[in-house]
Structures are given as C-alpha cells and as structure tokens.
C-alpha cells in the first residue's frame, strides 16, 4: 500500500511494475489523470489529504480482493498534458482490480481535499462526481476471493 | 473552548485568511453552530458562509457532518466541495 501526495511527477510504469512483484498477482489495473486544456494550480489540505487517501484505499480493500495498491496525487502548478493522479490496484483477477481502481478514483474525486484553480478561477465541483461516488454505496455485500 | 480553524481554496481567498485560533462562545458546540457564528461576523464571512453556499467541513482532518460536536483543541476546516483527481 502506497499513498503519496507530492509536487513531483511520477513514473506510472515503474509504479505498476512494483505492484507485480508478488507471484500471486494476476492483474494490475490503473488510472492516470492528466491535465486537460489549460494550466492549473492544485491546492490541498496537508495532513488530511494523506489520511483521506489511506481511508479510501482501506475501504476498497474491505470491498474487493486487493493485494496491493498505489495512489499518487500531485499538487502545485501543473500544465496541460502533465500527470495529476495515479491509481493502480493489484489483484489476483481483473474484476477486482478494475472495480477497486474505479471505486478509489470515484471516492477520491469527492472525498480527498484537493482544489483546482485555473487562470479563470477556481474549478467548480460537478454533480456528476457525486453521482459517480454514490453508485458504490448501494451495492450489496461484495465479493471476496481467495 | 478554543479551536483551530483552517480555510481552503476559494473560501480562503474570500475570507482573506488561511486560518485562526478562536475562543468559542458558550453555545457554539457543533460544526453548524460554528459556521453560523462565523457568518455573524458579516461582510465576506456572511457571503462566503451563507446558507445557500456549498461549504464542506472537516473535523480533525476527517470529513464532518454539520451536527458533529466540537471540543477544545479541535482542528476545524471549512472549504468548498473538492475538485481533485
């Protein structure tokens, strides 16, 4: 389990390879968020941010068979095409890896204290993000493999 | 009771401060009551924390409901809905 909130860029390939070292891992699913359109500055709440991300990964582990996962989120000044966030999840099978990866991203969008500011002003939160996070809450007991 | 307040993003800019230490008057015992107390300062505070504004709160670095109870030494943060990822 790795959670990092950092100014610097990351190597998504290296992070994913690091999740494959356990021979019981059969699937690594990942998501990389990229700056689209215009430059931005990302502010966060030091202390709470790391805590919130750890909680989200623990929630994912309680719902799916997650063998390991990595969440890296950048802050500071970012320009178009820069990487913002990486979520990578290792599991025995793809179903758990895909679901947990999507769940972590959806929860991160609504629960991790980051705020984007563009030259035109602060980016407004979108209702569709709340809806995306909300769809996970009605799920019945989740599948535990192994 | 004394609490530490933090403000982030657009709220920090509107209020013109990143945070403060505040001695709460008797009767201000929840996140909602604290928000209402701050709103009573008028001006930018009244506007930024108005009832219709979407303002989230965290208590000791966990997302908190308006009903969450405060105790001395708590860290309370107010901020707009998050937009990371």
**pTM of this prediction?**
0.92
The band of A143, judged by pLDDT with boundaries at 50, 70 and 90, is very low
Report, as an integer, the average pLDDT of A101-115.
96
| B58 inside 8 A of chain A by CB | yes
> pLDDT > 70: what percent of chain B?
100
pLDDT reported for residue A130: 86
pLDDT reported for residue A144: 41
Distance from CA of A95 to the nearest CA of B (A): 22
Whether B82 and A117 lie within 8 Å, measured CB to CB: no
> pLDDT > 90: what percent of chain B?
99
Whether B83 and A48 lie within 8 Å, measured CB to CB: no
Complex ipTM = 0.94
Do A49 and A108 meet the contact criterion of CB atoms below 8 Å apart? no
Tens-digit pLDDT profile for residues B63-77: 999 999 999 999 999
Write the CA distances from B50 to A73, A119, A134, B31, B38, integer angstroms.
31, 26, 26, 14, 10
β-partners of residue A91 are A27
The band of A128, judged by pLDDT with boundaries at 50, 70 and 90, is confident
The count of CB pairs under 8 A between chains A and B is 74
The band of A146, judged by pLDDT with boundaries at 50, 70 and 90, is very low
Whether B79 and A112 lie within 8 Å, measured CB to CB: no
């Amino acid at each position: 389990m790795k959670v990092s909130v950092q100014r610097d860029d990351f190597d998504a390939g290296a992070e994913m390879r690091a999740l494959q070292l356990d021979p019981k891992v059969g699937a690594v699913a990942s998501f990389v968020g990229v700056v689209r359109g215009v430059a931005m500055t990302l502010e966060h709440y030091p202390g709470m941010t790391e805590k919130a991300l750890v909680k989200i990964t623990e929630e994912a582990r309680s719902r799916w068979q997650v063998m390991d996962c990595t969440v890296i989120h950048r802050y500071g000044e970012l320009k178009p095409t820069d990487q913002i966030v990486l979520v990578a999840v290792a599991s025995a099978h793809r179903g758990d890896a895909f679901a947990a990866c999507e769940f972590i991203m959806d929860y991160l969008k609504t629960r991790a204290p980051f705020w984007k500011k563009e030259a035109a002003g602060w980016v407004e939160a979108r209702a569709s993000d709340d809806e995306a996070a909300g769809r996970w809450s009605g799920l019945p007991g989740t599948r535990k493999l192994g | 009771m004394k609490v530490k307040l933090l403000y982030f993003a657009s709220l920090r800019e509107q209020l013109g401060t990143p945070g403060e230490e505040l001695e709460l008057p008797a009767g201000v015992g929840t996140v909602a009551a604290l928000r209402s107390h701050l709103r009573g300062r008028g001006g930018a505070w009244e506007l930024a924390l108005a009832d219709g504004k979407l303002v989230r709160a965290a208590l000791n670095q966990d997302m908190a409901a308006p009903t969450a109870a405060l105790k001395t030494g708590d860290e309370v943060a107010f901020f707009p809905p998050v937009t990371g990822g």
